[in-house]
Amino acid sequence: MSVFVFDHVGLSVTDLDVERLFYARALGMTEVEESFEMPEAQVRSTILRAESGLKIELVERGGSAAQEFADPFDAAGTQGYFHWALYVADLDAAFRDLLAAGAQAVSGPANGVRPGMRFAYVKDPEGNLLELIQSPN
């Protein structure tokens, strides 16, 4: 059987510059691993990397249509990817840090289904959902 290892998540955005600044400030994704532009297709793209290895590809395409969800339940009503989840050591601190970096609170820190697990949701400046998960350890 093949072995698969996660590399990055891709996110279509309205404003590459705004989102790039947010993810640098909020998640420490300051290293530009790759960047390109295709003016004829109205596309700009960059892959950002954090020191931890966490990566995101931001793609701006002229004329793209926005989709925004009020919360994870609303998002689950549309098929396809609707959030990405990140493990954090201290959920309360991570939640506060993201709000200070410009994220919008969706649901504050709460107990999860698994015993001892906690979670919260925030939105980036364009409304994309991020789930924060604190393990029970």
33-52: per-residue pLDDT in tens? 999 999 999 999 999 999 99
**Reduced to 3 states, what is the DSSP secondary structure of residue 7?**
coil
Confidence check: pLDDT of 20 > 80? yes
Q: Reply yes or no on whether the pLDDT at 83 is more than 80.
A: yes
pLDDT of 4 over the 80 cut: no
Distance CA 94, CA 110 (A): 13
How much is the mean pLDDT over the chain? Answer: 93
| Contact call for residues 120 and 92 (beta carbons, < 8 A) | no
Question: Looking at the predicted structure, is the pLDDT value of residue 92 above 80?
Answer: yes
3-state secondary structure of 93: helix
Element (H, E) at 56: strand 55-61
**60 has pLDDT over 90:** yes
Domain chopping of the chain, boundaries:
9-61, 72-134
The stretches of 1-137 forming alpha helices (DSSP H) are 16-27, 72-75, 91-100
Among 3.30.420.480, 3.10.180.10, 3.30.70.240, 1.10.3720.10, name the CATH number for the domain at 72-134. Answer: 3.10.180.10
Look up the CATH architecture of domain 9-61: Roll (3.10)
pLDDT of residue 81: 80
pTM of the model: 0.89
> For the purposes of burial, counting CB atoms within 10 Å of the CB of 91, is it exposed (0-12), middle (13-18) or buried (19 or more)?
buried
